[in-house]
């Protein structure tokens, strides 16, 4: 019991702290960047539904998960369905073809941030027809592997225009929203701006120039607990923050 109470207090404190840090980072952001108010995605993976309800009741609406089964279970949880009617789920993990229907059928699914191939885009485009309401398109981001690490998902930066063009031309049930990166872990910020974030910013520049898109309309999802403020200063419009809000996760599980 006392444990639960403590958790509650920590969570609201964490959420408020992150929100005020976001605001402060926005004030430091270069005026040359699109002046979009960043969206906080609270990453709730491996955390119980009760904490999601708590954060929701504290005003948080966007939540991120990176395992399809976990997102589907939480999205269909009776308490969440009853108490979190406006919840917006972001899928931020690697999506396997055989899990697409399960993901797309999840109530409150708002965005898939990890589209990294034409094949995946085509599959989402095709299957979304069965699930969409009111002709609404499925919001997606293209995941870019900015750190050129083989273990990371995402397309190479040089391929991003091609994939975005494919989505715009051939995937009419999808709405291209922006670019997302995970980037290398524990980058030492004393070395200067995180090169992954700079690469994603440059990628957006190129995609917008090549495809004549308005840069103010193309989002950047980058930054996690350790570096979301830095990411906002460099132009992030979506930050994905987990442990600073919900507390540390069990170590044995990978985040990707």
- In the complex, which residues of this chain contact ligand PLP (CB under 6 A)? 43, 45, 66, 92, 182, 224-225, 240-243, 255-256
Smallest gap from residue 231 Cβ to ligand PLP (A): 11
Q: Which is nearer to ligand PLP, 161 or 255 (CB)?
A: 255
CB proximity list for 46: less than 8 A, separation 6 or greater: 70, 249, 250, 253
Cβ burial of 144 (10 Å; 0-12, 13-18, 19+) is buried
Strand ranges (DSSP E) for 174-229?
174-180, 219-221
> Phi and psi for 65 in degrees, rounded to 5?
-135, 150
Give the shortest CB-55-to-ligand PLP separation in angstroms: 14
Question: What is the CB neighbour count within 10 angstroms for residue 138?
Answer: 22
Nearest residue (CB) to ligand PLP, 7 versus 255: 255
Residue nearest to ligand PLP (CB): 242
135 or 250, CB closer to ligand PLP?
Answer: 250
Element containing residue 114 per DSSP (H, E): strand 109-115
Shorter beta-carbon distance to ligand PLP: residue 17 or 170: 17
Rounded-to-integer distance, Cα 54 and Cα 183, Å: 30
In the complex, minimum distance from the CB of residue 241 to ligand PLP, in angstroms, rounded to a whole number: 5
Q: Which helix (H) or strand (E) holds 122?
A: helix 118-131
Instruction: Let me know if 136 is exposed, middle or buried by CB neighbors in 10 A (0-12, 13-18, 19+).
Output: exposed
Q: Which is nearer to ligand PLP, 71 or 100 (CB)?
A: 71
Cβ proximity to ligand PLP: between 70 and 165 the closer is 70
| DSSP state, residue 144 | B
CA distance 115 to 179: 9
Query: Least Å distance between CB 246 and ligand PLP?
Result: 8
Minimum separation from the CB atom of position 59 to ligand PLP (A)? 19
We find the least distance from the C-beta atom of residue 251 to ligand PLP, in angstroms, to be 12
């Amino acid at each position: 019991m006392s444990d639960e109470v403590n958790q509650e207090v920590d969570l609201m404190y964490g959420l408020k702290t992150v929100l005020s840090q976001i605001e402060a980072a926005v004030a430091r952001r270069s005026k040359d960047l699109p002046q979009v108010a960043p969206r906080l995605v609270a990453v709730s993976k491996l955390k119980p539904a009760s904490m999601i309800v708590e954060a929701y009741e504290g005003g948080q609406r966007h939540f991120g998960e990176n395992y399809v089964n976990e997102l589907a279970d939480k999205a269909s949880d009776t308490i969440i369905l009853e108490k979190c009617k406006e919840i917006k789920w972001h899928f931020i993990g690697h999506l396997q073809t055989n899990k697409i229907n399960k993901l797309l059928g999840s109530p409150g699914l708002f965005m898939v941030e990890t589209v990294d191939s034409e094949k995946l885009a085509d599959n989402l485009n095709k299957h979304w027809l069965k699930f969409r309401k009111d002709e609404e398109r499925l919001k997606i981001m293209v995941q870019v592997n900015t750190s050129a690490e083989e273990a990371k998902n995402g397309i190479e930066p040089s391929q991003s225009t091609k994939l975005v063009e494919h989505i715009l031309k051939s995937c009419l049930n999808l709405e291209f929203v922006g670019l997302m990166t995970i980037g290398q872990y524990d980058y030492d910020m004393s070395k200067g701006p995180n090169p992954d974030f700079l690469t994603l910013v440059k990628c957006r520049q190129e995609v917008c120039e090549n495809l004549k898109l308005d840069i103010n309309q193309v989002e950047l999802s980058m930054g996690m607990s350790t570096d979301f403020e830095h990411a906002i200063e460099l132009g992030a419009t979506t930050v994905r923050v987990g442990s600073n809000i919900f507390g540390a996760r069990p170590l044995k599980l990978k985040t990707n």
